[in-house]
Structure 1
Amino acid sequence: MNNSEKGFIPVMLTPFNEDGAIDYNGLTQLVELYLSAGVSGLFANCLSSEMYELSEKERLELVKHVVKVVNGKVPVVATGSFGESIPQKAEFVNKIYDTGVQAVIAITGLLAKEEDSAQVFDQNVAQLLDLTGNVPLGFYECPVPYKRIISPEQLGRFVNTGRITYHKDTCLDIEQIRAKIAVTQGHNFGLYDAYMAHAVESLKAGSAGLSCIQGNFFPELVVWLCDNYNNDDEQVAKVQQFFIDHMDVMHAGYPVIAKYCLQQRGLPISMFTRTKTTTLTQEVKTKIDALINNYDVLKGELEIKFEVV
């Protein structure tokens, strides 16, 4: 996972049975869908996975299952920064790494309290690095429990340790993205942008790829953009505008609407979520159905052959 090739790293959903248990058969099919779409890696046990609603045992079993199904075809990363204290977080980081992932992701909002200074955050990161040996780590500026954005200067220092190989960025600021890329050049490191409104700009600026929730609706389209972003043509502009135009509908009631979309496209998974989200009303379903129809038109224009089933 570095800047040499552009790739899409999905923030994975977690399929559940209607009784709330993890649907491992559905998870297998979901992994296979991502792989068939051409993804460059997978991010398991993340916010889209409903990680805060999983037990410690479930988090480990889920990641082990993903790693097993992937079977080395692409790298897998997964969140591991759970626990009250930094030593407890380090202990779980080591457990997640033992599942076979390439890097363990730390949620920036779990490494310091919202009121803590950048200095406290830096000290906590240093302690986590000390307690996790040579485990490759990454950061995710997750919006829950709160969004802590890492500055370019901080990221540069962390990456210079040789331990930070991955960063999922949610700053929503293309100038910040450019600055972060500039200070991390020359390292075994990749920045993956979550914000699809400036996806093409980010890829052209040097990001390693994209890691966005929109890929849980149309993973093959995000892969297409990563493959074609450097073609200055109408198709690239149209795909970028498609994501901008449908930003709101793909965020409203997520992740249940993403599960509904994939279900409508042919993936046999339940819409059950443990996360308390907006009720999937008929109005919302109608909007997603229209979104799928709009995508089918675009898909035809781009001659994308991918099918969910």
Structure 2
Amino acid sequence: MIQKDKKFVPVMLMPFQEDGSIDYNTLDNLVDFYLEAGAGGLFANCLSSEMYQLSQEERLESVSFIVKKVNGRVPIVATGTFEDTIENQAEFVKAMYATGVDAVIVITGLLAKEDDSEETFRANVEKLLALTDDVPLGFYECPVPYKRVLSADFLGQLVKTGRIKYHKDTSLDINSVRAKIVATKDDESFGLYDAYMAHAVETLKAGSAGLSCIQGNYFPEMVVWLCDNFDNLEKKDEVDQVQQFLIDNMDVMHDTYPVSAKYVLQKRGIAIGTFSRTPSKLPDENAKKQLDILLEDYQVLSEKIGVLAS
């Protein structure tokens, strides 16, 4: 499912109506927004989708909706493990795969407790693989409930099984990313996608399959542009400006996320509400002012690099 060209895979937002129910009309439009921006795949039912605030039925229903809407145009991955026994997690992995996704994502921090040993974690991973038949899988070092980072050697072993197609890296460590890329380089069907945009260009140059970051829920066109141009020597100055923009605005894009991303998309003309089932809220007018400045700065940058911004 992974192509050789660098791809941006959005961690999809979940739009809600004011009564808290999923807004499927807006979700339909949001899929179009990502694809028209040039996304090379979609990560559904993820932390940005408020997956922990969804019921099992909502998780399956929303992913099925996205799969039907996309209709094979790009690959789709979706989380399929939540806090439960390994046996029950395996059953839900199979149920998620039945929605038609290309691979089911496993949350590393849900396969062992934070104080469990690496040996316990690895044993539970092997058990999950054994219980999920031939379902293609991926890993996500999700920061909630805690972040368990895969070692390069273990990821390399797993990829050699032929079952592992995707890895979302949140190690925040470029040396760790490089080691994982080296350990998995022999399997062209596997792709590592980095979430940490402070070293986005370094990650792409190191050989990652692409990027999968929350910044793409503000400005997906910019992340696609970076994937397309990171090694273009004629555009080195513009690439450096984009990388610096990502570094300079790391905090403002994280502070009240995902509500902040929904707010910016509203300002960009996307009909999405800012309701969230998470505790994330826009706390005051100052936060909105900072996001307005972010959008203005992006619009200036987009003109410089030749990306059409609405």
Preserved CA contact (<8 Å) 2:302 2:309:
no
Contact 1:37 1:306 in 2 (8 A): no
- Aligned residue identity for 2:239: V
> Residues 260 and 282 of structure 2 are in contact (CA less than 8 Å); yes or no, is this contact kept in structure 1?
no
Distance in 1 (alpha carbons) for counterparts of 2:3 and 2:39: 15
Deviation for aligned residue 1:306: 5.1
Q: Runs of 4 or more off by more than 4 Å in structure 1?
A: none
1:99 matched residue in structure 2: 99
Deviation at 1:195, TM superposition (A): 0.4
State the shift of 1:186 in Å.
1.4
What is the alpha-carbon distance in structure 1 between the residues aligned to residue 48 and residue 279 of structure 2?
A: 12
1:78–1:96 contact (8 Å) kept in structure 2: yes
Which residue in 2 is equivalent to 1:300?
303
Cα distance in structure 1, aligned partners of 2:38 and 2:89: 33
SS in 2 for 1:168: strand
Partner-residue secondary structure (3-state), 1:167: strand
Give the aligned partner of residue 21 of structure 2. Answer: 21
The separation in 2 between residues aligned to 1:123 and 1:285, in whole angstroms, is 46
Letter in 2 for 1:39: A
TM-score by length of 1: 0.98
3-state SS of paired residue (2:43) = strand
Indicate whether 1:53 and 2:53 are aligned: yes
Determine the C-alpha separation between the residues in 1 that align with 2:154 and 2:13. Answer: 30
Residue 46 of structure 1 deviates from its aligned partner by: 0.3
The match for 1:137 is 137
Q: Does 1:66 align with 2:69?
A: no
Q: Which moved more, 1:290-299 or 1:79-88?
A: 79-88
CA distance in 2, matches of 1:83, 1:178: 30
Contact 1:252 / 1:278 at 8 angstroms: preserved in 2? no
Q: Secondary structure at the match of 2:48?
A: coil
Query: Does residue 78 of structure 2 align to residue 78 of structure 1?
Result: yes
Cα distance in structure 2, aligned partners of 1:91 and 1:266: 40
Contact 2:299/2:309, CA 8 A, preserved across alignment: no
| CA-to-aligned-CA distance 1:157-197 (integer Å, 9 cap, x gap) | 11111111100000001011100000101112000000000
Contact 1:139 1:168 in 2 (8 A): yes
Q: How many residues align structurally?
A: 307
Hey, what's the Cα distance between the residues in 1 that align with 2:291 and 2:309?
Answer: 19
Which residue matches 1:237? 240
Question: In structure 2, what is the equivalent of residue 254 of structure 1?
Answer: 257
Correspondence 1:1-309 to 2 at 5 A: 1-2=1-2, 4-187=4-187, 188-232=189-233, 233-305=236-308, 307=310
* Preserved CA contact (<8 Å) 2:43 2:78: yes
Conservation of the 8 A alpha-carbon contact between 2:86 and 2:128: yes
Tell me if the contact between 1:165 and 1:189 (Cα under 8 Å) persists in the aligned partners.
Answer: yes
TM-fit CA distance, 1:3:
6.0
Task: Give me the whole-angstrom Cα distance separating, in 2, the residues matched to 1:249 and 1:240.
Answer: 15
The offset of 1:10, in angstroms, is 0.4
Distance 1:121 1:161 in 2: 17
3-state SS of paired residue (1:43): strand
Please state how far the C-alpha of 1:279 moved relative to its aligned partner.
Answer: 3.5
Cα distance in 2 for residues equivalent to 1:53 and 1:283: 27
Matches of 1:290 and 1:106, distance apart in 2: 37
Distance in 2, matches of 1:183 and 1:12, equals 28
Instruction: Report the aligned-residue RMSD.
Output: 0.9
TM-score scaled by structure 2? 0.97
Percent identity between the aligned chains?
A: 61
| Cα deviation, residue 92, structure 1 | 0.2
Following the alignment from structure 2 to structure 1, what is the Cα–Cα distance between the partners of residues 272 and 282?
18
The gaps in structure 1 that reach 5 residues or longer are none
Distance (Å, rounded) in 1 between the aligned partners of 2:280 and 2:16: 15
SS at match of 1:48: helix
Give the aligned residue type for 2:215. Q
Matched residue type, 2:140: Y
Q: Cα distance, 1:82 vs. partner?
A: 2.1
